[in-house]
Structure 1
Amino acid sequence: MPDEKDQFDTQNDEQIKNGENLDSQTTETEITADLEELHVDLSVENKEKEIEELKLNFKKAETEKNELQDRLLRKIAEFDNYKRRTETEFSNLFKYAAENFIKKILPVVDDFERSLKHLAESEENSSVTDGIKLIYEKLMKILDDQGVKKIDTVGKPFDVHFHEALLQQKDEQQPPHIVLDELETGYLYQDKVIRHSKVIVNEDFHVEDTAPDETTKEEQL
């Protein structure tokens, strides 16, 4: 009997141990599963954070790229403007290289023209007149070869770009604002005005004519 009891107790102990082992294994399995699930959750959360960081970095990089591209385009535009301006200035430097010298020559041309006009009116010293006229024509030929031209004035409408009005006169035979006479010749050098023509301009006499009529009407009323 004692042997049977001992055997029973031994079996009972083994069953208890087996049960404890099963419980322990179950607990370990559950813990392992929980840890794996937690690890998965943490991994997903970390991945989401990494994705958000990548999105932010990409957006930041794209913004910086756009800013650099805008700066590059502005620099290119500034360089193109600088290049065109430099080319224009360089071209004008050669185109109008003789401008200052020609301006100093113009008073000499004026003296020649006044002398020729005076000699023509006096009708004296024809040989001297011919000599002065020959020199004047040679000088004007040189200026013409350099692109210097006289500005047309008499009979032309007054234009502030070419004319400088010194006086006004009334001539009812001519339209208003027409240049009646030239006091000093103006000149173009290439396409640039280097001296405006000093002129006498016809008055706007139509305005003066209508004013008395209005006064008369007021007096009649």
Structure 2
Amino acid sequence: MENKEMNSQEQEQTVETAEYSINADESAAGTTHLNEPVQTENEMEKLQEELNEQKDKFIRLYAEFDNFRRRTAKERLELSQTAGKEVISALLDVLDDCERAEKTLPNATDLEQVKAGSQLIFNKFRNTLQSKGLKAMESISKEFDVEKHEAITEVPAPTPEMVGKVIDEVQKGYYLNDKLIRFAKVVVGK
């Protein structure tokens, strides 16, 4: 009988050990489930921090772009207001020469000196403009080109070779740094 009692005691201990083992497993499993929400909350906090950092970077980048846009608009306005400053400054010397010539004209007696002085001023004016990139278009005896010329009228050509070519130039055409800025007004032979 003692054997039976011991067996029942052993069985009870085994059942208690098994129950303890199951409870421990459940407890461990419960702990795992409890940690998951904690990890999710940590992940959410990290994601929220990353989102806030990205928002901050975006706002800063947008502000930099806005400042850049305003600055370039201001610079463009200033540039357009002072675009001709360099040319005007270069032409001031020619203007000074014109004023000096104007003062001497009423008292001038030698026509040849007046002509020579005027020619010097005109040459200085042309040279100044050429130094700034202005170039006169050569049109006479060239083929009429609608991209460069504006036909004022057509006249009978003096020779058969001049048909469709520029016979006379009413107003010169000009290039500025190889870009056409004024069409030549011409007379074309027909």
Q: TM-score, with normalisation over the residues of structure 2?
A: 0.53
Show the counterpart of 1:48. 48
- Identity percentage over the alignment? 13
Alpha-carbon deviation of 1:34?
0.8
Task: Note the alpha carbon deviations across 1:151-202, whole angstroms, 9 max, x for none.
Answer: xxxxxxxxxxxxxxxxxxxxxxxxxxxxxxxxxxxxxxxxxxxxxxxxxxxx
Alpha-carbon deviation of 1:102?
2.0
Show the counterpart of 2:76. 76
Unpaired segments ≥5 residues, structure 2: 122-190
Alpha-carbon deviation of 1:57?
1.3
Alpha-carbon deviation of 1:141?
6.3
Show the counterpart of 2:17. 17
Show the counterpart of 1:215. none
Alpha-carbon deviation of 1:45?
2.2
Against the structure 1 CA distance between its residues 17 and 31, is the aligned structure 2 distance closer, same or farther, given a 3 Å change threshold?
Answer: same
For 2:65 and 2:114, how far apart are their aligned partners in 1?
Answer: 63
For 1:52 and 1:145, how far apart are their aligned partners in 2?
Answer: 74
Alpha-carbon deviation of 1:15?
0.6
Alpha-carbon deviation of 1:145?
5.3
Alpha-carbon deviation of 1:46?
1.5
Unpaired segments ≥5 residues, structure 1: 110-134, 148-221
After TM superposition, the structure 1 = structure 2 runs for residues 39-118 of structure 1, keeping only pairs within 5 Å, are: 39-94=39-94, 96-106=95-105, 108-109=107-108
For 2:54 and 2:72, how far apart are their aligned partners in 1?
Answer: 26
Against the structure 1 CA distance between its residues 80 and 93, is the aligned structure 2 distance closer, same or farther, given a 3 Å change threshold?
Answer: farther
Show the counterpart of 1:28. 28
For 1:44 and 1:15, how far apart are their aligned partners in 2?
Answer: 43
Q: TM-score, with normalisation over the residues of structure 1?
A: 0.46
Against the structure 1 CA distance between its residues 103 and 91, is the aligned structure 2 distance closer, same or farther, given a 3 Å change threshold?
Answer: closer
Query: AA paired with 2:67?
Result: E
- Partner of 2:82, secondary structure, is helix
How many residue pairs were aligned?
Answer: 120
Alpha-carbon deviation of 1:22?
0.9
For 1:74 and 1:107, how far apart are their aligned partners in 2?
Answer: 48
Query: AA paired with 2:79?
Result: F
The CA RMSD over aligned residues, in Å, is: 2.8
- Partner of 1:98, secondary structure, is helix
Query: AA paired with 1:62?
Result: Y
Against the structure 1 CA distance between its residues 59 and 46, is the aligned structure 2 distance closer, same or farther, given a 3 Å change threshold?
Answer: same
- Could you tell me which of 128, 135, 142 is aligned with 2:115? 142
Against the structure 1 CA distance between its residues 62 and 45, is the aligned structure 2 distance closer, same or farther, given a 3 Å change threshold?
Answer: same
